Amino acid sequence: MAYENIRLEKDGPLAILTVDRPKALNALNSATFHEMDDAIRSLKFDETRALIVTGGGDKAFVAGADIAEMVTITAAQAREFSALGHHVFQSLENLPIPTIAAVNGFALGGGLELALGCDLIYASEKAKLGLPEVTLGVIPGFGGTQRLTRLVGRARAKELLFTADRIDAARAKEMGLVLDVVPADKLMEHCRAVAAKILKNGPLAVAQAKRVVEYGADQDLRSANELERQGFAVLFGSEDQREGMAAFLAKRPAAFQGK
């Protein structure tokens, strides 16, 4: 399918989703959300094993939600717009493959919320991140208040939410919001290198590791450990487990099939 606001490219088992509205600093409007939803749903586990999400142009990852679209909407329409954003980011989070945010510029409001929906976040040295919604008289509407709190803690999340501060990439790394900061011209290379490491591993095992971390995070330790036990056991019914251990004993690279 041809898209107007995004690009979805495939490089073997790696997919790259680019929000591509550079004249609007890649701001998220309803049309862009619907295209992202379609692109995410199109990814097949037997073909795609990792996804990088980034922004088009050299200024922004995603500068936020599209204020021009939101300025005149009613409370009921705002509820629908929020539900759409939540649905898309939840679909991204629910993918059984690792997702990597390559934050190449402004990641503000909905842009930061998009990054927070990914498993791993890496930023260029020129990235600026923040949740400035209170300056507009609203709050984040796509999961930002909740995912940010779970990532950096309640007090730091409140600080960013209440002050609307834009922080640089170094500060974001310091507080645990991003994993690494790299030169702008090396960001995609870095993210591709991380993806390449992931792609060498058993895809069913990686998917199960993602699942138990995500679901276990909201449970007590005993319940979470039981989830891990079940995930560990079920993989012993896979061809990948047999191949992985046979390859280890034979001192050769494993040829995983995702089965």
Q: Is 180 helix (H, G, I), strand (E, B) or coil?
A: strand
Give me the pLDDT at residue 2, please. 86
Token readout for 182 is 């790299």
- Catalytic hit among 4, 93, 133, 228: 133
Model pLDDT for residues 36-53, shown as the tens digit of each residue: 999 999 999 989 999 999
Give me the pLDDT at residue 114, please. 98
Categorize the per-residue pLDDT at 13 as very low, low, confident or very high, splitting at 50, 70 and 90: very high
* pTM of the full structure: 0.95
Phi, psi of 126 (to 5 degrees): -95, 5
Mean pLDDT confidence for 63-92: 96
Closest listed residue to residue 204, CA positions, set 46, 5, 88, 42: 46
Q: Is 26 left (phi over 0), alpha (psi -120 to 50) or beta?
A: left
Tell me the domains of the chain and their CATH numbers. 6-199 (3.90.226.10), 203-250 (1.10.12.10)
Active-site residue 113, yes or no? Answer: yes
Torsion, Cα of 226, 98, 199, 185 (10° steps): -150
Mean pLDDT confidence for 77-101: 97
Model pLDDT for residues 185-237, shown as the tens digit of each residue: 999 999 999 999 999 999 999 999 999 999 999 999 999 999 999 999 999 99
CA distance 195 to 102: 11
Give me the pLDDT at residue 46, please. 87
Q: Is the pLDDT of residue 26 over 90?
A: yes
CA distance 1 to 250: 44
Phi, psi of 144 (to 5 degrees): -65, -40
Mean pLDDT confidence for 15-33: 97
Model pLDDT for residues 146-178, shown as the tens digit of each residue: 999 999 999 999 999 999 999 999 999 999 999
Categorize the per-residue pLDDT at 25 as very low, low, confident or very high, splitting at 50, 70 and 90: very high
Active-site residue 133, yes or no? Answer: yes
Contact yes or no for 21/61 (Cβ under 8 A): no
- Catalytic hit among 9, 47, 93, 113: 113
